[in-house]
Amino acid sequence: MDGDTKTRPGADAQPKQPARGLTEPARPRTARWFALVALLVALVLGGLYGFNRFRDHMIANVFASNKPPPAQIVAVVAKTEIVPRSAPGIGSLAAVRQVTITPEIGGRITGIFFDPGATVKAGDKLLQLNDAPERGDLANYEAQARWAAITLQRAQELARRQYASQESVDQHQTQLDQARAQIVKTEAIIAQKLIRAPFDGRLGVRQIDLGQIVMPGAQIVTLTDPSTLFVNFTLPSQLRAELALGQRVKIATDAFPDRDFTATVTTIEPQVRTETRTIAVQATMQNPDEILLPGMFVTASVELPAGPEQIVLPETAVDYTLYGDSVYVIRADGAYAEGKPVLKAFRVPVTTGARWGNKVAIVSGLKPGDQIVAAGQVKVQNGAAVIITGNAPPQPPARPTPH
């Protein structure tokens, strides 16, 4: 038993010692491995960081030394001019002489002497109504007048011989006068049934047919003299002090966008329309080509007395945006190596005024003598260097082509 007890502890102790010897050296080895990996990661990250910093520095140096060349632009000098003033209004055209031909009396149409759209002269025959009954009456009254004249002559001869009284002479004179009056009346009715052109002009569409019975006032055809037209338009009543007879009016219409027409103020309504507080103005214009027609809508601009001088620029020099209008002012900023000044463009906000043609008035923001970029703004930024070319500012079209 003692032998058993001595060998068991020994047997138990022998397997424990080798286990301790195998586990203890593994822990330092693992720690060294993790430290080595962490060092390598730190070196890689540090290298990447340093490379990025070096790359950013070099890129900044390249951009700093690689400046874009100066933009080539067209410049103008701000000058003062007398700004024309006008009062625009919307109106329409009307013929000075225009009428719808209608009969004064009714009857059956027996003759049509015109073609639709033809040009006629004053007095030309247009339409004939049946006048046979009136011509019969005229013959009857003419016969009565002749008999009355004969009997009157006899009565006067007898009265001179004192074979008839003066009363008899007066009765025969009255009969003659009545017959002559009936002749005049019948001739007037016959004349009414022959319709003539009241003035020179151009006819419109025919609205009757041969053999048709028309009533008084029935529309036959329109007659228009398009050589002279009225321009009727309205203006605000606040402009009454600046309006006067004889002022020039510019006329524009969408029917002929490439042409300008002129008229002269001939009538100013002596009262203000209470519902709109506007003044009716009428101008007269010549239409020798007869291309404008009554009823056309037009834009009428009355030329008002000129205002004070203001700075005027080409309209291409102004940059219109939702945040305000601005221009680029050219100023010297430093000098090149050869001594020439460095010109730079700086954006300056301005307040614009009237616009006409291809010009615009500058109310504030500039002073006379400033050099302004008139073309090439798309290549310019605020503070960018520029080179002025000798080209003229571009000329935009006076009126855009309609689509």
pLDDT tens-digit map of 281-332: 999 999 988 999 999 999 999 998 887 888 888 888 888 888 889 999 988 8
Task: Work out the average pLDDT over 373-390.
Answer: 83
What SS3 class is residue 23? helix
CATH of span 221-304: 2.40.30.170
C-alpha angle 34-37-40 in degrees, rounded to nearest 5: 150
Q: pLDDT, tens digit, for every residue of 186-231?
A: 999 999 999 999 999 999 999 999 999 999 999 999 999 999 999 9
Q: Are strands 324-335 and 319-321 parallel, antiparallel or unpaired?
A: antiparallel
At 5, the pLDDT band (50, 70, 90 cuts) reads: very low
At 400, the pLDDT band (50, 70, 90 cuts) reads: very low
Nearest to 299, CA basis, from 259, 253, 261, 268: 253
Intervals of CATH 2.40.30.170 along the chain: 221-304
Burial class of residue 102 (count of CB atoms within 10 Å of its CB; 0-12, 13-18, 19+): middle
For residues 367 and 212, what is the distance between their CA atoms, to the nearest angstrom?
A: 77
For residues 168 and 155, what is the distance between their CA atoms, to the nearest angstrom?
A: 7
Position 40 scores a pLDDT of 83
Q: Which residue has the higher pLDDT, 49 or 294?
A: 294
At 13, the pLDDT band (50, 70, 90 cuts) reads: very low
- pLDDT exceeds cutoff 90 at 342: no
Lowest mean pLDDT among 42-56, 221-235, 333-347, 362-376: 333-347
Position 301 scores a pLDDT of 93
Position 358 scores a pLDDT of 85
Lowest mean pLDDT among 80-94, 351-365, 376-390: 376-390
Length of the chain counted residue by residue = 403
Strand order in the sheet with 194-196: 194-196, 125-129, 107-112, 213-214
Intervals of CATH 1.10.287 along the chain: 131-192
Task: Work out the average pLDDT over 24-28.
Answer: 61
Percent of the chain with pLDDT over 70: 87
For residues 311 and 350, what is the distance between their CA atoms, to the nearest angstrom?
A: 11
- pLDDT exceeds cutoff 90 at 33: no
Beta strands (DSSP E) in 78-173 are 79-82, 85-101, 107-112, 119-120, 125-129
Intervals of CATH 2.40.420.20 along the chain: 71-84+308-389
What's the pTM value of the predicted model, to 2 decimals?
0.63
Lowest mean pLDDT among 120-134, 265-279, 366-380: 366-380
- pLDDT exceeds cutoff 80 at 239: yes
The architecture that CATH gives domain 71-84+308-389 is Beta Barrel (2.40)
CATH of span 131-192: 1.10.287
Lowest mean pLDDT among 256-260, 330-334, 397-401: 397-401
Q: Which residue has the higher pLDDT, 335 or 148?
A: 148
- Could you tell me which residues come within 8 angstroms of residue 393 by beta carbon, excluding any fewer than 6 positions away? 74, 76, 314, 316, 317, 374, 375
Q: pLDDT, tens digit, for every residue of 160-196?
A: 888 878 888 888 899 999 999 999 999 999 999 999 9
C-alpha angle 298-295-265 in degrees, rounded to nearest 5: 55
**What mean pLDDT is reported for the chain?**
85
| Residue 332 token pair | 């010297």
Phi and psi, residue 86, nearest 5°:
-145, 160
**CB-CB contact of 150 with 136 (8 Å):** no
